[in-house]
Structure formats: structure tokens, C-alpha cells
Chain A
Amino acid sequence: MTIVISGFFTKKYAYTCEINFRLVTLNMKTIADLKIGERGIIVNFTDEGLSLKLLEMGCLPGTQVTMTHIAPFGDPIAVKVSGYVLSMRKDEAATIIVA
């Protein structure tokens, strides 16, 4: 629940699609929710356009990710995935569901 609230207030001009996808991911944990050092296994993607790029970069369902860095203003973030460090923005990370 906290995801929706914080997401909604920080983005004053939240796009409708953004709200929708926040609702979809309401009860699901995404990479954006990981704390530094925390691990998760990629389960699925919520954004088809981004998923191709993420797949090409080695973010496959079933792969383990570890949150390694969060940039000074909380965004972007960097994760360790299949042996290297990948950086992405927080809203991009929020499209990757982890378990």
C-alpha cells in the first residue's frame, strides 16, 4: 500500500497509465522495493516495451538480483544481475516483479 501513496505524491503529474500499473503491482514486490543488499528472484515484467530491453540485458525470469546502489537522490538504482551491475531508474525497476 505504501508504494501507491509515495508514488502518487512524489509524481504530481502522475500519468493515468502510471496509476494503472501501480494498481496492478499493488501487492507485488518489485526491484524498486528492495533495500541495499537485499536479494530477489525475477518473476515477471509489467511493461512490455521495457521488458525486451531488460531481457536483452540479462534480466530473465528466474534470475537472482541484488540491490547494490541507490543514487544520492533515491533514483536511479543499480542491481547486480547475472554477474554484472545494471543501473536503471526507479520507475523502470518498478516494472520488474520479484519474489
Chain B
Amino acid sequence: MKKLPKIALIGNPNAGKSSLFNSITGLRQKTGNFPGVTMDMLIGKWHLDNGGDAEILDLPGIYSIYPKSVDEQVVINILANPQHPDYPDLAIVVVDASNIKRNLLLFSQVRDLGIPTVLALNMIDVAENQGIVINSVKLARELNVEVAEVNAKKGIGLNGLRLAVNKTLESGYNSNDSLPMDYSHELVEEIKQTYGETDDYHALLWLSEHDNLQQFNTQQRVGFDKIQEKYGWNTQNAQSKETMARYAQLNEIVDNCLHEMPVEEEPINSWTDRLDKIFLHRFWGYFIFLGILFIVFQGIFTWATYPMDLIDSGVATLNDFLKSQLPPTKLTDLLTDGLIAGIGGVLIFIPQIAFLFLFISLLEETGYMSRVMFIMDKLMRRFGLNGKSVVPLISGIACAVPAIMSTRSITSWKDRLITIMVTPLMSCSARLPIYTVLIALVVPEKSTLFGIFNLQGVALFALYLLGFFMALFSAWVMKIFLKVKERSYFIMELPSYKGPRFSHVAFTIWNSTKAFVFEAGKIIVAISIVLWVLASYGPGDAIEQAEINVKMQYPTLSGIELQNKISAQKLENSYAGHFGKFIEPAIKPLGYDWKIGIALITSFAAREVFVGTMSTIYSLGGEVEDENATVMNRMRAEINPETGKPLYDTALGFSLLIFYAFAMQCMSTLATTYRETKSWKYPTIQFLYMTTLAYVSAFIVYQLLK
């Protein structure tokens, strides 16, 4: 099969790149992964009239080919390496006509990389409203490329764009003008001799960005350092000079092609300005932000419960049905109590995750999220964070994995690292079922605070606040320890408000939910099965002996009571029971027994298995009459053998709640931290500090309340 030509969409953020991509590909798109990083890349197909189909890639928005953050880095790794599997055969640079100089800077850099380039001139209507008229024919002549006028949002001008692409693909033409800035040809020749034949601009790009380019190994990087030293190369200086030289050239071109009509007054009272007056207001700004947060919480904790209950009862019904239909063998138990219970534990999170991503992508799409960063920056900076840390922290309420990945837009390494380290302290949706069960056990349902607020709800809200403040506190502590001499900056665009593109929102929800189900799902299901095996089998023949032993010990018992005693002793003698007993001395000061110990051990892979583990532990071998009893009721009935009172009293309940609020119990999060920091050091520190925090806090709580 002939390889399809690859077309990359490149452009400034908010230039209309993604809209153009959607207009071109319609629904014929899929997500791919950038090699080496787990960052979503959209790939679509575009039918070119004579040349068949082309593959079209939507790359993240960038301002220049010199990256300042990790998400910009991805684009450069492709463009700097002609051997890269995604290196485009042609680039469409999307240019926002209302801000043409800044947009053309990136265009001129991409063109000079020798990639055949087509310019898609977008947002002409916005420019005309500002009194700017651009002569695109003249622009094409001056820049020596095909220029297509498009309206990306409405999908107008696509035929012209297709024509321009066809023409450029056929001629393979790229204007190989000389570079606008001065540089040493001797230096470029040396790079070419050492690293292979290439064009001058690639050689210079390699020299200045070699530390960040995946295509070079350590030895090659050292080689670049030596060349830099030999020629007295100053990357910052060279890049500044290049940018100035490019602008000088572009100024002339733009002056020739652009007419500025006098507009009566600057359109200062545009929608965006009017909305910003409210959203950035010193009082209303925060008030509205809190209001939106409240709606998000409401959505996650109230509206999402309806579909969650449906899923929950659906799984339970299926399990009962299978149990009644299938022969009562070990295999059936594995299928129902192990596998299906485990899958149900994953599915139940879908509504909450979907709701959260609905809100986050709506806020991002409309442009509101950057306003939140703007009003929060000063506050967050006190704690060693950054205005941009707000998004990961909010996302952390759903799941720390996508939250940590969203830190890529933070330009400062120190701010980004601290945000990654503290984000898992935000109470994620996996903690919610644990909170729900334990709060129901220890906080009376009927009590209210000041007669209006349900005390259980207050307790839940307090746990979320506790996680948030602990995240801020930990960030503040890390800020003191992490001494990095690096400037954190906050230069970013405040885009104008727009209506959300619902297809984009739907796509984000679909992708994030799918990623969660498959990534976290694998681990949870695997652990459920392992746990079932560990709880059903034991060393030696102790499990088989259990029945005989119990009958000998309690000869008067019969029926359900006997069965319960037998199953309890079976569990105690299983592998899981032995593990639980083994760590019991360590968790005794927190008030936990060996059964909770089993749940703790399994929770270290993924905390969401806690409730599942509890139901496995308390239901194994349970009688048929028991089937209706919930985990909660079984836990409530559990008696502390030493005191003879209910085991789950206030002290134990709160101690467990605090432990689960702070402990690092998620392998997926640790793996993500490793991937994002490229070092085992940070996930290790994260695991240790959070677990220590959890242990000490739970200890204090238990000892105080006991």
C-alpha cells in the first residue's frame, strides 16, 4: 500500500487550528499517541481531489519553534527530526489574521525548516472588525507560498485550501530563501559533518535545542556542547536576534499587504471585555469561581449518583443471576465475586469522571479557565505553586492521572514538579466510595449542623477541604526544600470568550473516560482476582481443617452462625489472612485489625479496591440470606473482640478516613509521576511522604478519639 502523505496542522494556540481540523476531517478522526509520550494526538483523513487521501495531524499549539513547556516540546521533537515517523510531508500553518505578525513568526520558522508549507489565513472577519484588511494575493507573492483564506469555524474556504495543498504537494516546492539572520557558516558546516547532512536551519535548531531533542543521545549532546563552546554560541542571544531579524523582515511584508482602516474607537466594549469586567473582578471574580466549583461538586456528588446507582444495582443483579444459574463451583465464585465485582468497581466511576471532564473541557473551551489562572496566580504563588496549578488541582478531584498530565502546560519546572507532587492529595473519585461507606458508619445520618446541613454531607465536604489544604501545605513545605534557581513565568494569552465546540467536548469526555476505564480498570480487575485467590486458598490444609475445627469447638452451633464461624476461620487461615496478621502489629496503633490490614495491602495498588475487598472479606462463604446485606451493614455488625463493642466506632472510622485521604495508594499515579518526571526519585518521595503523612495523621486521630 502506498503511504499516505502526512499533513501537519501547525499554529499558535487559539488561531483556529482545531476548528480547521474538525472542519476538514468531520468525524473521520481518531486519537493516536505521540511516540515516547502519552499525549493525545488527533489524526484524521482528508480527501485530496487527485492525490487520494492524506493523513492529517493536529499538533498542539505553539508560539515559536523554541519550546517553553513540555507540551510545546512534543511538536519540536517531530519538526526537528526529518527521520521522525510523524515528520510531515507538508505543513498547513494556520494564521490568525487579526494578529498576523505574531502568527507569521511561527510560519516563517516552519517554512525555513524546509517543510513544504501552505498558509491558511483564518479569522479574517475578526481582523476586518478591527479595521485590518489583508491582501492575501500579495501576501502569497511576498512570502512565496500558497495562501488560502479560510473560515475554520464555519468550514468556508476548504476547497481553496485543498487546491493549495495539492499544488504544493505536487511541486514539493518550498521557498529556500536564505535565513534572515546572520550566523557562522563554518559552524553550520561542522554540525552537518558531525551529525549528518541537513539544511542550515535544522542544524542551528539542533545546536540550540539539543538537550531537549529525543533524537540525540548523551554522547551527541556532549558533542553539541563542545561545538557551542568552540564558537562561543549563546542560545538565548541567538534566538532573540533571530526573532528580531524575522520580525524586521515580516514588518516589511506585512506593511505591503495590510491596510489599516481607521476604526472610530478601539472596540473596547466587546463581549470579552465586558465579561472580563465581571470574571476578573476583585470580589465577583472569586465569587463566580466558587459558584462554578460548587456546581461542579454538585454535579459529581449529586447528579452523578443516579447513573452510579443504576450501574451498581445492574452489576449486583447480574451477579445474583449468574449465581443462581451457574453451578456453585469455585469457578463461579471467581467469576462473580472476583471478576464481575472487580469490573463493577471500575464502571461505577464512569459517571463522575465523565461529569468532571464535561465541566473542565467546557471551562477550557470557553476561555474561562485562563481567567481562573489569572485571578489565582498570586494566591497560589505563596505556596510555591502557579496560577496554572489550579487546573491539575481541580482535575485531581476526578483522577490524579490526567491531572498530573495536565501539568505539562506549566512552564517552570519547579512549579510543575511541586504541582505533580501534591496533586494526589486532592481527594479523587476513587476515595469517594470509601468516604461514603465510612462516613455512613461513623456519622449519624439524622444529625444536622445548625439545623440545615446534613452532618454526613458536611463531613464529606470537610474531607475534600482537608485534602486541598494538605496539598497547599505540602506545596509550601516543598517550596522551602526545593531550591531551584529558575525563573517561573506567567506570560500567557487570555483568549477571547467563545462558545464551546460540543464535538470537541464530547471527544474529550469520551477519551478521558476510556483511558480511565482501560488503564485503571486493568489494575483493579487484576487485583480483584488476585485477592479472591489469596482469600480462598491458604498454606497447608488449614482451610480444609477449618470446618472440622469449628464443629469441634462449637458443637452446639448450627445453621448460619456455624457457617459464619467457618468462613471467618477459613479467611483467617488463607494467604490474605496471613498477610493481614503479619502487618497487624504495625497498624494496631491506628486501631486497625488484620481484616482492615488485608484491605490496606490491596489498596496500595489502587485505593478503589477497598470497598470491594471489604465486601469480599465479609461476604466469602456468606449465606444466601446474607446476600441482601450491604457491605456497610456487615461492617456495622463487626464486633471488636477485645471490647465487645462495634469495631467501627468513631475513632477507628475517622482514623481510616484520614488514612485514605492522605495515603499514596495508586500505582497508576506513581507510574504517571515517573513518566512525567523521568525519574524514580520523585514517585518514591511522593509515596513515602504521603504514606508517612497518612500514618502519622491517622495515629494522632485514633489516639485522640479513642
Contacts and interface: CB of A to CB of B under 8 A. Distances in A.
Nearest to B285: A72
Q: How extensive is the interface on chain B, given as a class?
A: 35 or more
Contact of A89 (B132, B244, B282, B490): B490
A73 B489 contact: no
Given A57-B102, A72-B285, A82-B101, A87 B492 contact: yes
Contact of A86 (B132, B239, B494): B494
A52 to B, nearest CB: 5
Interface string A14-49: 000000000000000000000000000000000011
A85 B489 CA distance: 16
A71 B280 contact: yes
Contact of B240 (A55, A74, A85): A55
Contacts of B491: 50, 53-54, 57, 86-88, 92
A50 B239 CA distance: 12
Contact of B101 (A58, A68, A75): A58
A98 interface: no
B124 interface: no
Contact of A73 (B244, B266, B379, B496): B379
Contacts of A88: 489-492
B49 to A, nearest CB: 35
A41 to B, nearest CB: 15
A68 B66 contact: no
B292 to A, nearest CB: 16
What are the nearest 6 A-B pairs in CB distance? A58-B102, A72-B282, A85-B494, A73-B378, A56-B64, A56-B63
22 contacts: A49-B487, A52-B66, A55-B240, A55-B243, A56-B102, A58-B101, A58-B102, A69-B374, A71-B280, A72-B283, A75-B377, A76-B490, A78-B494, A83-B98, A84-B493, A84-B494, A87-B374, A88-B491, A88-B492, A89-B377, A92-B490, A92-B491
Given A50-B491, A55-B247, A85-B494, 19 more contacts: A48-B237, A49-B487, A51-B240, A52-B66, A52-B236, A60-B101, A66-B266, A69-B276, A71-B375, A71-B378, A83-B98, A83-B132, A84-B98, A85-B493, A86-B492, A87-B490, A87-B493, A87-B494, A88-B492
Interface of B: 63-64, 66, 68, 98-99, 101-102, 105, 127, 130, 132, 236-237, 239-240, 243-244, 247, 266, 272-273, 276, 280-283, 285-286, 370, 374-375, 377-379, 387, 487, 489-496
Interface of A: 48-58, 60, 66, 68-69, 71-76, 78, 80, 82-89, 92
